[in-house]
Amino acid sequence: MSIQSWASSLITGQQQTNLALATINFDFSLVKVDAPGEFKPLGQQLAHTRRKAAESGSPHVTARKLGALFQHALPATPNLVRAYGTRTSEIAASKAIERESSMRYGIFSEHAGVDATNIWAAATSGPEAIAVHLLACLLARIWTGPEAAFIWVDLVSQRKVELAAIGDGAELRLMCGGFSDHPFQRAT
């Protein structure tokens, strides 16, 4: 509302409310979900910088958006998620570095210890993100790096095509926070 129209509405006694709900730009990918209990010991083992990146950095954003993209394509696997969380926490505990003794690593102390940033990012992004993380792990384990990357890009592209065929794309952009428009290319 301009100052002139505000002043004239004040004089004439009119109320001019401009509600622009369409201009609200909420990025759902920044929302942190509480990690399942089985993953909490893993999160406690992460260095501060890794935990921060996993909860609010680009690994978290990517995990949330991929989870949303594949939300209805992957089956719910609560037992697998529980077992995975328990096992990753056990492994992290066995490799634990005491925060006090980590100072011996000098300038690298914030990076010492278990690097489970992507696992914690998935755990704090919801069960869909954990399922996508496990799918990515399977692809990386079965194929070489370039092959797995190519397959992953193809899966994302095909999923975007499937979702675009369902509607006009507005729901897809809303659901994926603009991630559906992100160009994915295979690294060469």
Q: Look up residue 69 and give its amino acid.
A: L
188 part of a folded domain: no
8 part of a folded domain: yes
Which of 44-48, 73-77, 142-146, 172-176 comes out lowest in average pLDDT?
172-176
Q: Which pLDDT belongs to residue 142?
A: 97
135 part of a folded domain: yes
Q: Which pLDDT belongs to residue 8?
A: 52
Joined together, the tokens standing for residue 3 give 């100052």
186 part of a folded domain: no
Mean pLDDT, rounded, for 32-41: 91
Are the C-beta atoms of 73 and 161 separated by less than 8 Å? no
**Contacts of 134 by beta carbon, 8 Å cutoff, 6+ apart:** 80, 84
Are the C-beta atoms of 42 and 89 separated by less than 8 Å? yes
> Is the C-alpha dihedral spanning 63, 153, 187, 146 positive or negative?
positive
187 part of a folded domain: no
The residue segments making up the domain with residue 169 are 3-181
Q: Quote the number of domains for the chain.
A: 1
